[in-house]
Amino acid sequence: MNCISFFRNLFLILFVSPLFSQLTSDECLEQLSIFAESAKIKNYQAAYEPWKIVLDNCPNLNVATYQYGELILKDFIKKSPSEEEKTKYLNDLLSLYDQWIENFPERKGIRQIGKIYSSKGQAMLDNGVNDKALIYDTFDFAFKNDPSSFTNPKSLAYYFQTGYDLYKSGTKINLETLFESYEELTEKFELLKTNISKNIDIILKKEESGTPLTSREVRNKKIYDTNSNAVSAYLRLIDQRIAKEATCDILIPLYSKNFEENKNNPLWIRRAAGRLDGKDCSDDPLFVTLVEQLHILEPSADSAYYLGILNDKKGNSDEALKYYQESVSLQTDNYKKANILYKIAVKFKNAGRRSSARDYAQQALSFQPSLGQAYILIANMYADSANGCGDSQFNKKAVFWLASQTAQKAGRVDASLKKLANQSVAAFNGRAPSKTDIFTEGNQGTTITFSCWIRRSVKVPNL
């Protein structure tokens, strides 16, 4: 600590604290106003002393004491000249979160415990606290007690990461707890993605109608795109971690061992069946047992979908389709309906039934216009069909223009797919007719119609 900081703190201890030990409400408000004005312009040095006076003497005056206090202390931690001073301010920050919970556990009637304690856990991680069990317990308390306000995708991902690290070190977390945490967090990420998609879809529908967006809507779309990217990136992070543990050789014995205990728990069965399906373990007899039990306990969109998979495995395509369609009709949530339709589209694509796959992908887009994966699926099927969908070499290559245009839509509606979409567009355009091809053919501006399953047209670009 330098001399200036030492004498400043000494002054506060000897003179300022006694003076304000009995602050009136007006004096508290005056100090609040002083530190808030400085904090608003990020002059945290000037804000510190009046802020500390309010925190020590009027801790339940206003939530701004904690909102600005977090910013002030984070700035002091970042600029601390020594580890000793950094540790002091970090301890002050961690204490601040506890006081925040004590004095303002709610805001506008909505609980904030999950948000505040997840911020505390993240602060420990960001500043090099080595006690992973303590960090995990902090995140775990936030998630278990108030998951609705624990929404920061970075903190959600590192909640899983710290649990994964503890599992790998053989302390505190066993494999079953790790999978349970993964399932809960995956569902949380999917909920965040759905909420973002709902906001994006409102804007996409307005754009499709030709109505200009307001400046606020343009700004909000950028925020939604940023949030979509973050959620997708952190979901990939936890997927990468669990992939090493979630193999069929590990999953099947684990779920088999726990089935008897959980055979009347539809949530557990649904998650187990979903994990086996997601990891291509659905050939195992355990999958059949799970699906049949789920349909007995709780006939639902999920159980009907899994029955469709079972019939697909047996080669009963018509019966499988009947169950898939039942799954869609049973689902009342449009975004879950879109997800089911997309998964059906993927199954048809893998079975070589491209026309059906496109139909289901387009149905999915009708319920969720921001489902960029559906456009990627369609674009790839177009590209894969190039050799069989043209009556000349030029027309075969022209299919790639259609694939490129479709892939481009994926990046437009889903920011998290923009990089993949751009790569696909570049690859498809690289295989489409060149300017020399167009000049040689002499067909610029004409329309080419594909008579194969695609049954779509594309216009030859003008030179």
Whether 299 maps to a domain, the answer reads yes
| Structure-model confidence comparison of residues 170 and 23, the more confident one | 170
Judgement on whether residues 398 and 446 belong to the same structural domain of the protein: yes
What pLDDT is recorded for position 11? 41
Q: What pLDDT score does 463 carry?
A: 78
Q: End-to-end alpha-carbon separation of the chain, Å?
A: 70
- pLDDT(70) > 70: yes
Domain presence at residue 15: no
Give the pLDDT band (50/70/90) at residue 14.
very low
DSSP class of 432: S
Looking at residue 244, its pLDDT comes to: 83
Q: What is the mean pLDDT of residues 206-233?
A: 94
pLDDT at residue 374, rounded to an integer: 98
DSSP state of 111: E
Q: Are residues 369 and 451 in the same domain?
A: yes
Domain contains 38: no
Q: Give the pLDDT mean for 291-295.
A: 93
Among 330, 355, 383, where does a domain finish?
A: 330
pLDDT higher than 70, residue 8: no
Quote the pTM value.
0.84
User: How many domains is the chain built from?
Assistant: 2
- What angle in degrees, to the nearest 10, is found between the helix axes of 248-262 and 285-297? 30
Range of the domain at 301: 248-330
> Is the pLDDT score of 384 beyond 50?
yes
The maximal CA–CA distance of the chain, rounded, in angstroms, is 92
What per-residue confidence (pLDDT) applies to 25? 87
369 and 447 both lie in a single domain: yes
Same domain, 376 and 458: yes
| Final residue before a domain boundary, out of 330, 357, 382 | 330
Q: What tens digit of pLDDT does each residue of 434-446 get? A: 999 999 999 999 9
- Does 125 fall in a domain? no
- In this predicted structure, the answer to whether residue 21 has a pLDDT above a threshold of 60 is no
Tens of pLDDT, residue by residue over 82-117, are: 999 999 999 999 999 999 999 999 999 999 999 999
**167 pLDDT above the threshold of 70:** yes
The answer to the question of residue 350 being in a domain is no
Question: What is residue 278's predicted lDDT score, i.e. its pLDDT?
Answer: 86
In a domain, 99, yes or no: no
Whichever domain contains 256, its CATH number is 1.25.40
Q: Do residues 369 and 448 both lie within one domain?
A: yes
- Asked if residue 371 and residue 316 are part of one domain, the reply reads no
User: From the CA atom positions of the chain, what is the Rg in Å?
Assistant: 28
Cβ count within 10 A of residue 21 = 9
If asked whether residues 435 and 370 sit together in one domain, one would say: yes
Report the pLDDT averaged over residues 443-456: 94
User: Rounded mean pLDDT of 245-259?
Assistant: 93
Domain boundary among 303, 330, 357: 330
CB 450 within 8 A of CB 456: yes
Q: Is residue 443 part of a domain?
A: yes
In tens, the pLDDT along 43-62 reads 999 999 999 999 999 999 99
Gap between the Cα atoms of 122 and 380, Å rounded? 40
Q: Is the pLDDT of residue 7 over 70?
A: no
Q: Given pLDDT bands bounded at 50, 70 and 90, which one contains residue 22? A: low
Q: Are residues 380 and 462 in the same domain?
A: yes
